[in-house]
Structure 1
Amino acid sequence: MEGNSNASGGKCPFMHGSNTETNQSVMDWWPNALNLDILHQHDTKVNPLGKDFNYQKALKSLDVEALKKDVTSLMTDSQDWWPADWGHYGGLMIRMAWHAAGSYRIADGRGGGGTGNQRFAPLNSWPDNVSLDKARRLLWPIKKKYGNKVSWADLIILAGTIAYESMGLKTYGFAFGREDIWAPEKDVYWGAEKEWLAPSDGRYDDVSKPETMENPLAAVQMGLIYVNPEGVNGSPDPIKTGAQVRETFKRMAMNDEETVALTAGGHTVGKAHGNGDASILGPNPESAPVEEQGFGWSNPTRSGVGRDTVTSGIEGAWTTYPTKWDNGYFHMLFNHEWELRKSPAGAHQWEPVSIKEDDMPVDVEDMTTRYNPIMTDADMAMKMDPIYKEISLKFKDDFEAFSDAFARAWFKLTHRDMGPKDRWFGPDVPVEDLIWQDPIPKGKSDYNVEAVKAKIADSGLTISELVSTAWDSARTFRGSDFRGGANGARIRLAPQKDWAGNEPEKLSKVLSVLEPIAADFSISVADTIVLAGNVGVEKAIRNAGMDVKVAFAPGRGDASQDMTDTDSFAPLEPLADGFRNWQKKDYVVSPEEMLLDRAQLMELTAPEMTVLIGGMRVMGTNYGGTKHGVFTNNVGALTNDFFVNLTDMAYKWKPADNWVYEIVDRKSGTVKWTATRIDLVFGSNSILRSYAEVYAQDDSKEKFVNDFVNAWVKVMNADRFDLA
């Protein structure tokens, strides 16, 4: 018979893809299921450069000076399809770089410009990022020319830095080393809102108290980088806006002086765009039709460029000479009285009550026409907030101090998420070590490792003490901004030595034994702590009847208290650690979700997370020595017993108290073990159970040990960028 019944009936003969409205995902059907996607998001399969590509090696062949020259030329060239304001792309490129870097927040280290994430949703389509699609496309010929020798992430930040230099600022420096991602970042929580620019009240316990903003968020509304430029929820009030500015910049690890410098420096050049009706703009890049080819926000009635540009809705420049680095911002702010007015787009903005025509900035297209300068509500806070005002007046009277403060703050803004200097490349990397870089001196590497291990093994410390101390030292590592980790041995310094999750009393005991050993061999405490963990793991392996060596790379150094910014380290404190079956208190988020967050920050895969949990349990490393999840009669031996007993159908499971469960023998009814939700999720979640079953198999005893050792070494070396 000819034809197809479905096709003849007018139906599509093909299976619809996952992007269709009719094909729901697993999470759509079961929204309360544990979503493991964040552990799989940057799978090597999505990377077109291949698993063998090494960006740090590629950078060594980059002609940095030629690249900088090309980017400098771009600032005033290529004016055809997207003409620049006043013939200079500086303001646009700075905004692009700023909005890439400015999404960073210190609470979890996520966001920032270190991954090139601005190329993807949601950032490429945020309301605050209107027209930045054009900035990236202007850079494309340069990216095409230099190829894989420079990442998009580096190029975006470099463009902003070169823009400032081309307008007269002496910058503090620049480092290459940001490696691109190739898919949207699913791990970043940008807020619970379901619409862009929804009122910010939902982010606060009390919107009048900025410190009550939900963690880890830093921006006041969904789709904004920082604060609403028109005021809190669009209602102008510079004092209230100033309080929000202070909190949001604090959540980026910026102090008041850095905040003033960045605000003023960002508005010394360029302009805001609101000369038109924002409501008629076309869809954002992610929603635009295919013929737009990645562009968004098209203007259907006007040119959309020059004086017709609409982005924030606020319209005007802040200074008389918006393509020149000068002190015009502060002089404009303090030498005039300001009043609220509306932009052509209807946005609240501040304009001078009176001003000489010569002090007005000229039109972006017509040098003979001048318009009023403007200030946003945040700008007015620099004049009306008492603390900001004092700093602003200092900068007004000392241009060199302002320029230096801004250059340093810009450098910090654009490099905060890059991690230690071992990841940095290029001739413009500053020599000075800055405290926010978490500096660590180089450690000794030419010593007798086996002799140190023997001394540790004879120290009297238990497997649990050895392993848990090394784990606690290393688990602070965050792949989001490359902070934390075992290198530096900051677990012995404030604030880490006093963190509840590090069991201070036990930690003090272990360090009192390990520190003299380190001194005897003239090596770092950091190396000694990691070696101690390895000794504990190797003992546990031997107790399981096998003999496997744990790889070790010497050379860690010890940071001092003076090298440690205690305030900025506070957000690294773990509030929960599922690997040690511990939570500081009950949270709205489930324990298993907090485990996934910790694992993802540590750059662990789901199988690595699974095998580490199983090994940590049987070695008896639970916080406080609890027995939850210790499904073995041979504690201290690195066996696969956790998985064997978790999947054994001789038992059933029932809730006991809070997040604790009892594992009951089906025949006798006696309680065999206790467990937490963290333990049982490896049997209840279908994906995690599939991993647990692999390790529970009779033929997986050696595989379990080898996989555990590999995952353990990965955690211990996560911050060893010098090994790359």
Structure 2
Amino acid sequence: MDHNNTGDIDKCPFMQGAITTTEKTVTDWWPNSLNLDILHQHDTKTNILGKDFNYQEALKSLDVEGLKKDLHDFMTDSQDWWPADWGHYGGLMIRMAWHSAGSYRLADGRGGGGTGNIRFAPLNSWPDNVSLDKAKRLLWPIKKKYGNSVSWADLIILAGTIAYESMGLKTYGFAFGREDIWSPEKDVYWGAEKEWLAPSDERYTNVDAPDTMENPLAAVQMGLIYVNPEGVNGKQDPLKTALQIRETFKRMAMNDEETVALTAGGHTVGKTHGNGDASILGPEPEAAGVEAQGLGWANPTKTGKGRYTVTSGLEGAWTTHPTKWDNGFFEMLFNHEWESRKSPAGADQWEPVSIKEEDKPVDVEDLTTRLNPMMTDADMAMKMDPIYREISLKFMNDFEYFSDTFARAWFKLTHRDMGPRDRWFGPDVPQEELIWQDPIPKGNYKYDVEAVKAKIAATDLSISELVTAAWDSARTFRGSDLRGGANGARIRLEPQKNWEGNEPAKLQKVLAVLEPIAAEFGISVADTIVLAGNVGVERAIRNAGMSMTVPFAPGRGDATQEMTDVDSFESMEPLVDGYRNYQQKQYTVSPEEIMLDRTQLLGLTAAEMTVLVGGMRVMGANYGGTKHGVFTEQVGALTNDFFVNLTDMIYEWKPLDNGIYEIKNRNTGAVKYTATRLDLVFGSNAILRAYAEVYAQDDNKERFVKDFVAAWTKVMNADRFDIK
């Protein structure tokens, strides 16, 4: 852009800067408009490696031992531009891996380190991630060397694991297989706050009752990974902080013992940084100028490195030997009395009332100078909360047990969102199967599929019963952490078999018929359930006057109750299922918005959602057999009637008081159909109506069936990583 003669900047002649300025969006102008952007995240056009790139294949060329050696060497190979504390990058690499993995939450499976999302906004610029921009940049020479054979997601987590190894911890294992994304995950809801580190009160109904935190959130404030290290809303109170820790880690699928192990193990090494004025730091990476080249939080005074680094604002190491894996955290915590003091940056922290000089950690640059250790409010909670205290003392008195518990908890933290073992790669994958991995035995791949289908077809099960059993089994899949789905047939186990949305009585009737068939043919119930759904769909296609075979991939296995972590599956219960016109109760969020969220987790596009809903309605798959949205006279036939009648202007739509709508003939006033918002949104939203009109056309009846079968098969196979 040129400057004019007066020195002023000329007005941009292109689009008035609208490409990057904050022009109002459609939803800004019309806040009640349904925003379908969440479903556009499955667009693969942003992937620079192309659709033919297969990371599992690329991993086969990875020199794993060479990479691990390079990372071990890297830990103590300091660089002048960002030298390591005590000459060891371990603490920084652990923090990066921790904060990458630690954004995971159990409620919707989103967050976590499985996609390398910490490379992008907002995570790359969260206040809690200060200086992690440097950590990633330090790894760039290694990433450059190994190229596409290792993803950023894998490298970041491996760097943290190798850091622990280099400091003396015997780690539990490591699995490669995390595939990078190439644009921000805009579908992840991190909270409604409009400013960083806004008071916790904004995401709690009652901040003194941590379980009232808004779902699906886990961190206590916008921009934090876990809890505020200075205390609840920045006010020290270890017992109150303990309550928030327990709820936050529970929402991350961690129990009390794992929570203590992770807190102590994470603070056994490294330090906090607050030796300066945090308010003078430059902008975060996303707000920094082009000259910063993606780095942020520049310190305009001193060096901003080493002893002059400012991140959290707290200052000091937790242990005497912060580059060594030992029991120093518990010894420091329990062998001293602590009092509240201010860090040089003004943050509230805990320091020992008195401590021997030789028990203090040395300065990160001058190894002849010793400085006070410190503890956060979360650390003090490990001593003062009765439950955490008992666990902490057990760990302090049994270092081997603590080390093993931490190694397993670290492995769980960094692998929780990777999905089934079929996706895992490398020589260090543990042989032990862990319950949080949702293990599923291998199934039978070779049997007479057509014979099984014929046996199912000969039963008295209706199309609705066949289709809904298969759908309810498969709909639990979450693309976020790759859990759920039809594989394993967990729909027949606790807690799923009693979920209201699965219509338990109807489900048990279907299972009572299908389980003997599975036993007769020596195949899994999981395969039999999916085959039953396919039989129902094929029957509905024939009822519509067409013929088509629904693709099927055998080989699913059956999980047992002992293989199922009941508590972790509770969060996967469907409270709203737009595909079956089911809503457990009224929520503050509209049912159609919840349907979009579920659709995104299933990995479906808006068009696939549209065709599936229309097909499920006409097949009579509604929850409880309701007639809402069943816009057809041929229930059980896979016709395009839902879309034909939805778009027919002979009808007008009138709301009733109970959230139901009547569809009346404009000429006679007679009520023809009833509907819910989950039906009418396909006619009211401009994008969805455009899809609905395509399927309503006279020349697209066959296209509708083909598209339905493709989308149906996609859902049934969503969790089949063994065939992908």
Whether TM-score is above 0.5 comes out as: yes
Cα pair 2:204 2:213 within 8 Å, conserved: yes
Task: Establish whether residue 93 from structure 1 lines up as the match of residue 129 from structure 2.
Answer: no
The amino acid that maps onto 2:448 is N
Partner of 2:432: 432
Aligned position for 1:564 = 564
| Uncovered stretches (5+) of structure 1, i.e. residues with no partner | 1-7
Structure 2 CA distance for aligned equivalents of residues 80 and 476 of structure 1:
50
SS at match of 1:310: coil
**Could you tell me whether the CA contact under 8 Å between 2:131 and 2:297 is conserved in 1?**
yes
Deviation at 1:144, TM superposition (A): 1.0
Cross-structure match for 1:164: 164
- 1:28 Cα offset (Å): 2.0
After the TM superposition, which residues 37-436 of structure 1 pair with which residues of structure 2 at under 5 Å, given as runs?
37-436=37-436
- Pick closer, same or farther for the CA change 1:9–1:433 going to 2, 3 Å: closer
Structure 1 position 187, deviation (Å): 1.1
Q: Which amino acid aligns with 1:133?
A: D
Structure 2 partner of 1:633: 633
Q: Which residue of 1 aligns with 2:29?
A: 29
Work out the CA distance in 2 between the residues paired with 1:20 and 1:503: 49
TM-align CA RMSD: 1.1
TM-aligned CA deviation for residue 494 of structure 1? 0.3
CA contact (8 A) 2:501 2:584 kept: yes
Counterpart-to-counterpart distance in 2, 1:445 and 1:41: 33
Do the aligned partners of 1:18 and 1:25 also contact (CA within 8 Å) in 2? Answer: no
Conserved? CA contact 1:107–1:216, under 8 Å: yes
CA displacement at 1:148 relative to structure 2: 1.1
Superposed CA deviations along residues 627-679 of structure 1, whole A, max 9, x for unmatched, are: 01111100100011111111111111110233211111111111110111111
**For the Cα contact (< 8 Å) 1:17–1:23, is it kept in 2?**
no
User: Is residue 16–residue 23 contact of structure 1 (8 Å, CA) maintained in 2?
Assistant: no
Distance (whole Å) between structure 1 residues aligned to residue 155 and residue 30 of structure 2: 41
Quote the Cα distance in structure 1 between the aligned partners of 2:596 and 2:464.
23
Quick check: 1:114–1:178 contact (8 Å CA) kept in 2? yes
Measured in 2, the distance between the counterparts of 1:440 and 1:10 equals 64
Shift of 1:31: 2.0
Q: Secondary structure at the match of 2:718?
A: coil
Q: Could you tell me which amino acid in structure 2 is paired with residue 273 of structure 1?
A: H
Shift of 1:20: 4.1
Cα drift, residue 618 of structure 1: 0.5
* Partner Cα separation in structure 1 for residue 589 and residue 70 of structure 2: 48
Letter in 2 for 1:163: A
Q: Which amino acid aligns with 2:97?
A: A
Q: Deviation string for 1:105-149 (max 9, x for gaps)?
A: 000000000010000111000000000000000011111111111
C-alpha displacement at 1:585, in angstroms? 0.2
Amino acid at match of 1:48: I
- Structure 2: how far apart are the matches of 1:430 and 1:48? 32
Distance 1:700 1:311 in 2: 59
Looking at structure 1, the residues matched to 352 and 280 of structure 2 have their Cα atoms a distance apart, in angstroms, of: 29
Q: For residues 16 and 550 of structure 1, what CA distance do their matches in structure 2 show? A: 51
- Give the stretch that moved more between structures: 655-664 or 374-383: 655-664
Q: Deviations over 1:53-103 (max 9, x none)?
A: 111111111111111111111111142110000000000000000000000
Alpha-carbon distance, 1:17 to partner: 4.8
Instruction: Tell me, in whole angstroms, the C-alpha distance in 1 between the residues paired with 2:505 and 2:305.
Output: 64
Q: CA deviation at 1:309?
A: 0.2
Contact 1:42 1:183 in 2 (8 A): no
Deviations 1:261-294 (A, max 9, x none): 0000000000000000000000000000110010
Q: Which amino acid aligns with 2:387?
A: I
> Aligned residue for 2:4?
none
Q: Which moved more, 1:402-411 or 1:658-667?
A: 658-667
AA matched with 2:657? D
Q: Which runs of 5+ in 2 are unaligned?
A: 1-7
- What residue in structure 1 maps to residue 477 of structure 2? 477
Paired residues of 1:79 and 1:87 also in contact (CA < 8 A): no
Question: How many Å apart are 1:51 and its aligned residue?
Answer: 1.1
Q: Is the 8 A contact 1:18 1:24 kept in 2?
A: no
Deviation at 1:13, TM superposition (A): 2.2
Deviation at 1:22, TM superposition (A): 6.4
2:314 touches 2:347 (CA, 8 Å); kept in 1? yes
Letter in 2 for 1:668: T
Q: Distance in 2 between matches of 1:675 and 1:95?
A: 51
What is the Cα deviation at residue 16 of structure 1?
Answer: 3.3
Q: Check conservation: 1:579, 1:613, Cα contact below 8 A.
A: yes
- SS of the aligned residue for 2:652 comes to strand
Moved more, 141-150 or 324-333: 141-150
Q: Which amino acid aligns with 1:458?
A: A
Contact map agreement 2:452 2:517 (CA 8 A) in 1? yes
What amino acid is aligned across from residue 210 of structure 2 in structure 1? P
Q: Is the 8 A contact 2:42 2:604 kept in 1?
A: no
Structure 1 position 422, deviation (Å): 0.5
Letter in 2 for 1:12: C
Q: Could you tell me the TM-score, scaled by structure 1's length? A: 0.98
Letter aligned with residue 127 of structure 2: P
Post-superposition CA distance 1:363-388 (Å, at most 9, x none): 00000000001000000010000011
Q: Which residue of 1 is the match for residue 601 of structure 2?
A: 601
Structure 2 counterpart of 1:165, one-letter code: E
Percent identity over paired residues: 81
Map 1:464-543 → 2, pairs under 5 A: 464-543=464-543
Contact map agreement 2:42 2:603 (CA 8 A) in 1: no
Shift of 1:15: 1.4
Q: 1:473 to 1:354 in 2, by over 3 A?
A: same
Contact conserved, 2:349 with 2:375, CA < 8 A, in 1?
A: yes
* Greater alpha carbon shift after TM alignment, 213-222 vs 16-25: 16-25
The SS at the match of 1:16 is helix
Q: Once the two structures are superposed, what CA deviation does each residue of 1:222-258 show, in whole Å capped at 9, x if it has no partner?
A: 0000000000001101000011101100000100000
Q: Deviations over 1:147-204 (max 9, x none)?
A: 1111111111011000000100000000011111111111111111000000001111
How does the TM-score come out when normalised to structure 2?
0.98
Distance 1:22 1:479 in 2: 31
> What residue number does 1:3 align with?
none
Instruction: Give the stretch that moved more between structures: 379-388 or 68-77.
Output: 68-77
Q: Secondary structure of 2:286's match?
A: coil
**What SS does the aligned partner of 1:593 have?**
helix
Q: Deviations over 1:312-354 (max 9, x none)?
A: 0000000000000000100000011111100000001100111
State the distance in 2 between where 1:48 and 1:608 align. Answer: 25
2:625 maps to amino acid: G
Give SS of 2:621's match: coil
Deviation at 1:554, TM superposition (A): 0.5
Q: Which moved more, 1:76-85 or 1:345-354?
A: 76-85
- Compared with structure 1, are the counterparts of its residues 583 and 242 closer, same or farther at alpha carbon in structure 2 (3 Å cutoff)? same
